[in-house]
Amino acid sequence: MRIRIAKEFIWEMSHRLPFHNGDCKNIHGHTYKVRVEIEGETDSNGILIDYYDLSKIVAPVIHEMDHAFLVDENDELMLNFLSANKFKHVVVPFTTTAENIAASIIDTLKFRFQDHPNIDTLKIRFHETSDVFAELEIKIK
């Protein structure tokens, strides 16, 4: 049977958009949420993947960002400040827009689901706030 299942993950993270002409150029944080949906064929027991196993795949990605500052590798001001003060931060090769963060998450997760031959589609809905999100869907097989 072909089916789609999903699980949501929530974490706190901060960032800034140095190019922005408005408030987002300042240091600020959000309560982020990502809904991870996978699709494929169930096994003989009627399971696509155990929700516990789904969490084991996704949770390490979220844990790395939880209570961290996500910083563009080109933002020298923030890199120096975060490093000098030993604040938790994750350096990324992109500006930290919702669109780019979503693309980075799905790119990381697609490799983690490749060990499950019955799963062929991955979709994420990445919420920066409660009412705005970026959504991507890819084939992983």
Q: Which member of 15, 116, 127, 128 is catalytic?
A: 128
pLDDT score recorded for residue 71: 98
Per-residue pLDDT of 35-84, as tens digits, reads 999 999 999 999 999 999 999 999 999 999 999 999 999 999 999 999 99
CATH code of the domain covering residue 107: 3.30.479.10
Q: Which member of 24, 30, 99, 135 is catalytic?
A: 24
Whether 67 sits among the annotated catalytic residues: the reply is: yes
Burial 48-70 (b: 16+ CB within 10 A, else e): bbeeeebeebbeebbeebeebbb
Q: Which member of 12, 67, 73, 76 is catalytic?
A: 67
Whether 24 sits among the annotated catalytic residues: the reply is: yes
> How many structural domains comprise the chain?
1
Question: How high does pLDDT run on average in the chain?
Answer: 97
What residues make up the domain containing 44? 2-139
Whether 73 sits among the annotated catalytic residues: the reply is: no
